[in-house]
Amino acid sequence: MNLSKLLPQSRRTPSRSNDDDGEESVPLTSLETDYDDAYPSPSSSRSRARDPKSSYLNSINWKRWIILGGLSYLSYRFIVYLYSNPERWDKSWKDTLTGPRAVVVDPVVRAAGQKWRGEVDEREEFIGFKGVRYAEPPVGERRFRRAVPVTVQTRSEEEWEKLEPIEAREWSEGCPRPENNIAGSEGHSGVEDCLKLNIFTPRKRIPDKLFPVMFWIHGGGFVSGSSNEEKYDPTDLMSRAISMNQPFVFVSINYRLGALGFSAAPPPPGEPPIAPHIPVRAPVDLDLNVGLKDQLEALKWVRREIGNWGVTLVGHSAGAISVGLHQIYSPPELFRAAFMLSGAPTSFPVPWPHDAGARTLHPLPGPSHCPSPVQQPYGPPSNALLLSCLRSLPLADFMRATKTLSDRSPVNGWFPWYPVLEGEWEGSWLDFRPSERIVRGTFARVPVVLGGTVDEGTRFTSPEQSSQEMIKDAIRSAFDFTFGAIEELLTPIWEFYPSSPSTGSPYHTGNETFGLSPSYKRQASLLGDIFFQAPRRHFLRETPKDFGEPSWNYLYEERREGSEERMGVQHSADLQSWFGHPNSSDTEMHHLSRHMSSYLM
């Protein structure tokens, strides 16, 4: 079996009311769907057979027999056409994965010049191929460099027959990240040879019928996370899709994080300058935004090896920000829809490389024992010796040195690294600010879904928060390269975030402070708006009115069962419902999860 037969000819788009300006979100808890009506049995649409003893049939004269005979012949020709034309199969009630045409897929497939042996799930509904390499290992001199695509070797059929398959039954370890995905924690998890993806495909398929692809990008603030986390398990989601006759292929990826994926340094001075600090050529000693470009390389792998259309990008948090950035900067032919859960392309301001380098690269000589940047007669300092030294460090030493940046962040250790502007030069990717691109309308015109939870900010607020000054420190930490402008805005903003606990987050909890300072709820409200609610609404409002594609906006309002009350409906509370396995015994929550997961299919 070739993986190129796993994509769809068409895909159903969920029907929801448009919310272009983002002012009124649709709470998912208020949506009601009768699933028997929404997805009726295919056989229910067939007409009932007439009674063979009908007086009507007994009274037909010979002319009517000729007419009926002609209609029967035309019906026969239509049926032959229908079942010989794959483009019509999506409309055929017989073509289900449990129907007579379905065939069992071989767990050994050919892709990227290799054979891969997958594993059938316990329900025998789909096959998983885990740890499939999409790029060469980014180690040694390739540390801080853009991913190199895997070399695909052309083989004769005889060579294919002799080739032993690579076992693809175990999850890869993921890219290096803090231990237990806790920003600022001691130790690390993952390996540098991590540029791998996972593919889950229905075990049965209709010959020549193609499936859609859901391309999942995990979250973690660009510093943590991996594709093998239990909360991203697609088992229940895919099983439900198969039962609804909406099968799809699920792809999840790993990409470089933290300093390995988002280190930045300015390029050498260019002539003529476009404006102060705007790069006009590429950096020499490292590549920018390599974590995002890992994702792009994986997307190209999917297009090349699985198909050339039918991909829906879906991401959460940093993954949602990534989805939005790909919609703005990546080739539009790589995907056909975008789904952003708790994140938007403007969730973070994107700094210039010299600002980001001063923030994340220049503090490293001390903890890493590497040489400091060398000041030049003109232009930015040279980072060549520093980066050469950092490339030679063992991974454990490198991760220990970069941990100090998380330790300095009052935002619970998050946000030391994120995407940077690259400027205008041949081959640049993130050339203009996302907000500029959105206003200009220079982005992929595809259907979009955005949304989030009510209390996004509690996840990033320390329970030790006790004063307005500490709130300012948290904002300064997140935006220190633009804080001069932001500080001017804070004075009028405070009046919109009063210190009264009744107006803070978690919302709808009155004057309850959970034994904490009222400043906790104030900061949680402010950070939730800055990083999530405002960027989401900005994207919907600034999208040109002639966008030409539908967009949807949602707000999730159900607190996770067993979570701390002070967290409210926190960041990522909706994830398990999207993936079809809510951690709840509540029947209504399972109904809500069924409803939500149907939008991903």
H or E segment to which residue 249 belongs: strand 249-253
119 within 8 A of 127, measured Cβ to Cβ: yes
Residue type (1 letter), 213: V
Which residues are CB-contacts of 541 (< 8 A; sequence separation ≥ 6)? 20, 21, 22
For 429, the token pair is 């990717």
Q: E strands, 285-382, where?
A: 311-316, 337-341
Reduced to 3 states, what is the DSSP secondary structure of residue 330? coil
Which alpha helices (DSSP H) does 100-256 contain, by range?
157-162, 235-243
Distance CA 251, CA 135 (A): 15
For 433, the token pair is 């600010």
DSSP string, 250-287: EEEE----HHHHH---PPPP-SS-SSTT---S--SS--
Reduced to 3 states, what is the DSSP secondary structure of residue 429? coil
For 516, the token pair is 């904490």
| Residue 29: CB atoms within 10 Å | 14
For 172, the token pair is 């890869």
177 within 8 A of 225, measured Cβ to Cβ: yes
451 within 8 A of 24, measured Cβ to Cβ: no
Which residues are CB-contacts of 96 (< 8 A; sequence separation ≥ 6)? 42, 102, 245
In the chain the first and final C-alpha atoms are separated, in Å, by 23
Catalytic residue from among 317, 322, 428, 519: 317
Distance CA 509, CA 564 (A): 13
Residue type (1 letter), 417: W
Nearest 5°: phi and psi at 348? -125, 145
Reduced to 3 states, what is the DSSP secondary structure of residue 419? coil
260 within 8 A of 144, measured Cβ to Cβ: yes
**Burial of 438 (C-beta count, 10 Å sphere; 0-12/13-18/19+):** buried
Nearest CA among 315, 298, 314 for reference residue 306: 298
For 149, the token pair is 């695509």
The crossing angle, in degrees rounded to 10, of helices 587-598 and 235-243 is: 70
Which alpha helices (DSSP H) does 458-545 contain, by range?
468-478, 483-493, 518-528, 534-542
| 499 is an active site residue | no
391 within 8 A of 286, measured Cβ to Cβ: no
∠ CA 497-501-507, nearest 5°, is 80
291 within 8 A of 268, measured Cβ to Cβ: no
Active-site annotation, residues? 317
